[in-house]
Chain A
Amino acid sequence: MYYLKLIFKNIFRHRLRSLLTIVGLVVAILAFGLLQTVVNAWYAGADMASANRLVTRNATSLVFSLPAYYRERIKAIDGVTAVAISNWFGGVYKDQTFQNFFATFAVDHDVFFDLYPEFRVKPDELLAFKKDQRGCMVGRLIADQHGFKVGDVIPMTSPIYGGGTWEFTVRGIYEPKDETTVTRQLYFHWDYLNEQMKKRFPKRAESAGVFIVQIADGSRAAEISQAIDKEFRNSLAETLTETEKAFSLGFVAQTEAIVTAVKIVSFVVIVIIFAVVANTMAMTARERLAEYATLKALGFAPLFVAMLIFGESVLISALGGAAGILLTFPVAAGFKSAMGTMFPVFYVTGQTVALQVVASVAVGVLAGILPSIRAANVRIVEGLRYAG
Chain B
Amino acid sequence: MVSITHLSKSYRRGDQVVPVLRDITLSIPEGDFIALMGPSGSGKSTLLNLIAGIDKPDSGELLVHGEDITRLAEADLADWRASNVGFIFQFYNLMPVLDAFENVELPLLLTSLSRRERRVRVETALSLVGLSDRMEHYPNELSGGQQQRVAIARALITDPAIIVADEPTGDLDRKSAEEILGLLRRLNTEMGKTIIMVTHDGHAVESARHVTHLEKGELMLDPGSSPQPRRPG
A205 on the B face (CB < 8 A):
no
A6 on the B face (CB < 8 A):
yes
* The stretch of B33-41, B60-68, B104-112 that contacts the partner chain: B104-112
Question: Min CB distance, B140 to chain A, in Å?
Answer: 11
| Shortest Cβ distance from A290 into B: residue | B93
B79 on the A face (CB < 8 A):
yes
Contact with A along B43-63 (1 / 0, CB 8 A): 000000100101100000000
Contacting pair A384 B78 (CB below 8 A): no
* The stretch of B82-90, B193-201, B203-211 that contacts the partner chain: B82-90
A10 to B102, CA, bound (A): 14
Contacting pair B49 A13 (CB below 8 A): no
Q: Using Cβ atoms and an 8 Å threshold, which residues of chain A touch B110?
A: 298-300
Q: Using Cβ atoms and an 8 Å threshold, which residues of chain A touch B107?
A: 298-299
A388 to B96, CA, bound (A): 12
A355 on the B face (CB < 8 A):
no
Contacting pair B75 A301 (CB below 8 A): yes
Contacting pair B78 A294 (CB below 8 A): no
Q: Using Cβ atoms and an 8 Å threshold, which residues of chain B touch A381?
A: 49, 54-55
| Shortest Cβ distance from A291 into B: residue | B95
Contacting pair B81 A298 (CB below 8 A): yes
Contacting pair B52 A297 (CB below 8 A): yes
Q: Using Cβ atoms and an 8 Å threshold, which residues of chain A touch B54?
A: 296-297, 380-381, 384
Q: Using Cβ atoms and an 8 Å threshold, which residues of chain B touch A380?
A: 49, 54-55
B120 on the A face (CB < 8 A):
no
A39 to B79, CA, bound (A): 55
A69 on the B face (CB < 8 A):
no
Contacting pair B97 A294 (CB below 8 A): no
Contacting pair A9 B87 (CB below 8 A): no
A358 on the B face (CB < 8 A):
no
Contact with B along A283-295 (1 / 0, CB 8 A): 0000000110011
Contacting pair A294 B89 (CB below 8 A): yes
Contacting pair B95 A387 (CB below 8 A): no
Q: Using Cβ atoms and an 8 Å threshold, which residues of chain B touch A10?
A: 97
B159 on the A face (CB < 8 A):
no
| Shortest Cβ distance from B166 into A: residue | A384
A2 on the B face (CB < 8 A):
yes
| Shortest Cβ distance from A379 into B: residue | B55
Contacting pair B82 A388 (CB below 8 A): no
In chain A, positions 5-50 with a C-beta closer than 8 Å to chain B are 6, 9-10, 13
A388-B98 contact in complex given A299-B82, A300-B110, C-beta closer than 8 Å: no
Chain A interface mostly helix, strand, loop or mixed?
A: helix
A2-B109 contact in complex given A10-B97, A296-B78, A387-B91, C-beta closer than 8 Å: yes
Contacting pair A300 B78 (CB below 8 A): yes
Question: Min CB distance, B4 to chain A, in Å?
Answer: 18
In chain A, positions 66-105 with a C-beta closer than 8 Å to chain B are none
Q: Using Cβ atoms and an 8 Å threshold, which residues of chain B touch A6?
A: 95, 97-98
Contacting pair A298 B106 (CB below 8 A): yes
Q: Using Cβ atoms and an 8 Å threshold, which residues of chain B touch A298?
A: 81-82, 87, 106-107, 110, 154
Contacting pair B171 A297 (CB below 8 A): no
Question: Min CB distance, B113 to chain A, in Å?
Answer: 13
| Shortest Cβ distance from B86 into A: residue | A298
| Shortest Cβ distance from B50 into A: residue | A381
Contact with B along A272-314 (1 / 0, CB 8 A): 0000000000000000001100111111111000000000000
A297-B98 contact in complex given A290-B93, A384-B93, A387-B91, C-beta closer than 8 Å: no
A387-B89 contact in complex given A298-B82, A300-B110, C-beta closer than 8 Å: yes
Q: Using Cβ atoms and an 8 Å threshold, which residues of chain B touch A387?
A: 89-91, 93
Contacting pair A299 B79 (CB below 8 A): yes
Contacting pair A388 B97 (CB below 8 A): no
A388-B91 contact in complex given A297-B54, A300-B110, C-beta closer than 8 Å: yes
Q: Using Cβ atoms and an 8 Å threshold, which residues of chain A touch B96?
A: 13, 291
Q: Which of A6, A298, A300 has the most CB of B within 10 A?
A: A298
Q: Using Cβ atoms and an 8 Å threshold, which residues of chain B touch A299?
A: 78-79, 81-83, 107, 110
| Shortest Cβ distance from B171 into A: residue | A388
Interface residues in chain A, defined as those with a beta carbon under 8 Å from any beta carbon in chain B = 2, 6, 9-10, 13, 290-291, 294-302, 380-381, 384, 387-388
What 4 pairs between A and B have smallest CB-CB spacing? A299-B82, A9-B97, A388-B91, A380-B54
13 contacts between A and B (CB under 8 A): A9-B98, A10-B97, A13-B97, A291-B95, A297-B54, A297-B87, A299-B81, A300-B78, A380-B49, A381-B49, A384-B89, A387-B90, A387-B93
Besides the contacts A10-B97, A291-B93, what 19 more A-B pairs have beta carbons closer than 8 Å? A13-B96, A291-B95, A291-B96, A294-B87, A294-B93, A297-B81, A298-B107, A299-B78, A299-B81, A299-B107, A302-B74, A380-B49, A380-B54, A380-B55, A381-B49, A381-B55, A384-B54, A384-B93, A388-B91
